[in-house]
A and B are shown apart, each in its own frame.
Chain A
Amino acid sequence: MSNIGKAFEKGKAFIAFITCGDPDIETTKRCVLSAAENGADLIELGIPFSDPTAEGPVIQEANMRALSNGITTDMIFEMVRDLRKVTDIPMVFMTYANVVFSYGTDRFMRACRDTGMDGLILPDVPFEEKDDFAPEAMEYGIDLISLIAPTSEGRTVMIAREAKGFIYLVSSLGVTGERKDIDTDLERIIKVIKENTELPVAVGFGISVPEQAGKMAAISDGVIVGSAIVRIIGEKGKDSPEYVGEYIRRMKAAVLSSDTAL
């Protein structure tokens, strides 16, 4: 099992997304550690991109803040190297195809392995284009995470069968960001996924309050929360690690309380 699998070993997982370098690398590090201490099972580290087409306004703005501070891919690899000295929590990158492609796919995946990353999510690389990245990811033991959306329909089976790490199930149409209601029939999609892979399924997009997290965790193996955390960091800046930790503690409690014996 890959290191990512460990995130799902102790029951339902809580996955926290953080944009690297917002407002600075030091705060990102402290947020990661605070998230880990307060119950996060896996950290998704966003490498900022100038034009994040799958993101809603909250994460778009975090990307802009980080980039205007001069954050680069190399600085983020350095940060991961430092973090790995103090935490072994599973970590994956979330970024866009061009960030990896321009760095050199082989060079990027090697740096992921050398610094201690476990996986990579590229929201603008669907199944049909994954051969641009998958061979190098596999060579260096980096799980290239597949996304499945409510609109995937007949594509779900083929995606699930070739998936690595975990399945990122997109809860609803649209871009990332907090939503009041999620009314997609996720249980039906999860059933199809489970028939085709042993991998855990985590639900993301639109989850921000404990009640939603509980609901989503009840039908899946974990929940992913991004915008709500990034919003706290945007508001509290350098003081955010404490608030991020407190928020994650509440969310993780909701996730765990949903844990029914399967």
Chain B
Amino acid sequence: MTNARGRFGKHGGQYIPETLMNAVIELEEAYDRYKDDEDFREELDLLLNEYAGRPSRLYFAKNMTDALGGAKIYLKREDMNHTGAHKINNVLGQALLAKRMGKTRLIAETGAGQHGVATATAAALMGMECVVFMGAEDMERQALNVYRMRLLGADVVPVTTGTATLKDAVSETMREWTRRIDDTHYCLGSVMGPHPFPTIVRDFQAVISREIKDQILKKEGKLPDAVIACVGGGSNAIGSFYHFIDDPEVRLIGCEAAGRGIDTYETAATVNTGKIGIFHGMKSYFCQDEYGQIAPVYSISAGLDYPGVGPEHAYLHDTGRAEYVPVTDDEAVNAFEYLSRCEGIIPAIESAHAVSYAMKTAPEMGKDKIIVVTISGRGDKDCAQIARYRGENLSE
């Protein structure tokens, strides 16, 4: 009998070439050995606190709350982490684990470039070699992050196959891993791919909800009524949800990138428009055609421009524990501008999807209710693109 490992309901699993099987088994064994190891935990906590700047702030957005006239809105400021996004939480954990495993080289995919920058940062810090695969299309959209990665000493390899975006970068990083396994760890950036990645990445990102819980109990003496986060692969969302999953009174809301709308083909809203399938190592929901060909997806946000979603989100959707709502490009850009003016906080365009849904739902909730919105990253990287969206060409 074969066993069913790393399953979230019917989702998850390990759908990868035989060549990689011992590598993921070795990773799982190492993770099981170190996750509760005192030295490992101490070293990681020290890095998260002293290097990455944790805990991140839970900020009461008074102006936004007053302006919307409903629920109290708190912002979980992952944008204030070192490197400007939640991605560093996972990367520091994985890089430390890779070092313990004797690996000297990190490879990673990146969409918006945030995970690539975080991986390049950890590699620089820990003296490891780093290669980042990035869709050629995304390299153009996120030129600043490409420069940052190279500045940090990483090789950035343009991926020109397929749609030249995040999904192709994941495929190419998997191919690279099958070429060179011995000294190389694939530092996967989201709660996706084959087991044990969805579990490892979720555990490293769960620090977000652990902190939210402590912070909100201190500030309000009760749990929030809703936690809202954007979902591409879903790492900041699962991190924000995780410690609330067993608190059924807390609504968990994931905001998917609807692109030009879920009634168009130019969308990346996987849960809302996809169906169950097997791809990139996992069973989950994917945007695909009737023959199982993975659909080209679209979003203004390079970080959410992915045709799948992590298997644990697929499961939370199946059980109804979390809701997944679509947010269009237009709505996200409006929220990007709104938060900048209203609170003086420029969110990543990814995070702006979550802000947008909070703007929609807060006025429908009573003033005694509490919403926490995770600001997964900061928006400096998006300014040139949003300016273009508004018809303005920035020259640097």
Contact = CB atoms under 8 A, between A and B. Distances in A.
A54 B178 contact: yes
Contact of A99 (B14, B275, B280, B291): B291
Contact of A173 (B3, B178, B293): B178
Given A51-B168, A53-B280, A129 B292 contact: no
Nearest to B23: A151
A14 B348 CA distance: 55
A169 B167 CA distance: 28
A72 B14 CA distance: 26
B175 A53 contact: yes
A51 B171 contact: yes
B356 interface: no
A197 interface: no
Interface stretch (A24-32, A119-127, A215-223, A244-252): A119-127
A128 interface: yes
Given A51-B162, A98-B288, A102-B290, A147 B179 contact: no
B370 to A, nearest CB: 41
A64 B294 CA distance: 12
Nearest to A146: B18
Interface string A140-174: 00000011111111110001000000000010011
Contacts of B17: 53-54, 123-124, 126, 147, 149
A212 interface: no
Contact of A151 (B19, B161, B277): B19
A98 B5 CA distance: 19
A209 to B, nearest CB: 21
Interface in B98-133: none
Nearest to B1: A131
A236 interface: no
A127 B2 CA distance: 7
A60 B19 contact: no
Interface residues of B, number: 39
Given A51-B167, A53-B175, A173-B178, A129 B21 contact: no
B61 interface: no
Interface string A63-93: 0100100001110000000000000000000
B161 A103 contact: no
Interface string A171-182: 001110000000
Contacts of B262: none
Interface in A15-55: 49-51, 53-54
B2 A103 contact: no
B181 interface: yes
Contact of B3 (A72, A128, A152): A128
A97 interface: yes
B178 A129 contact: no
B109 to A, nearest CB: 12
Contacts of A152: 18, 21-22
Nearest to B276: A101
Contacts of B294: 50-51, 98
Contacts of A126: 14-18, 21
Which of A98, A101, A148, A151 has the largest count of B CB atoms less than 10 A from its CB?
A98
Contact of B18 (A56, A74, A147): A147
Contact of A130 (B2, B23, B290, B291): B2
Contacts of A60: 161
Interface in B1-56: 1-3, 5, 13-23
Contacts of A151: 18-23, 181
Contacts of B168: 51
A102 B277 contact: yes
B162 A102 contact: no
B278 interface: yes
Interface in A219-251: none
A151 B22 CA distance: 7
Nearest to B292: A102
B19 A128 contact: no
A223 B91 CA distance: 42
A151 B24 CA distance: 12
Nearest to B286: A98
Interface in B166-185: 167-168, 171, 174-175, 178-181
A101 B275 CA distance: 11
A124 B294 CA distance: 15
Contacts of B1: 131
Q: Name the 8 nearest CB pairs between A and B, nearest first.
A: A102-B292, A174-B179, A149-B19, A97-B278, A98-B292, A50-B293, A50-B294, A149-B18
24 contacts: A49-B293, A50-B293, A51-B171, A51-B279, A54-B17, A56-B175, A57-B161, A64-B162, A67-B293, A97-B15, A98-B277, A98-B292, A101-B292, A124-B278, A126-B16, A126-B21, A127-B18, A129-B13, A148-B18, A149-B17, A151-B181, A152-B18, A174-B19, A175-B175
Interface of B: 1-3, 5, 13-23, 161-162, 167-168, 171, 174-175, 178-181, 275, 277-281, 286, 288, 290-294
Given A128-B5, A175-B179, 8 more contacts: A51-B162, A54-B17, A60-B161, A67-B293, A97-B278, A99-B292, A99-B293, A102-B288
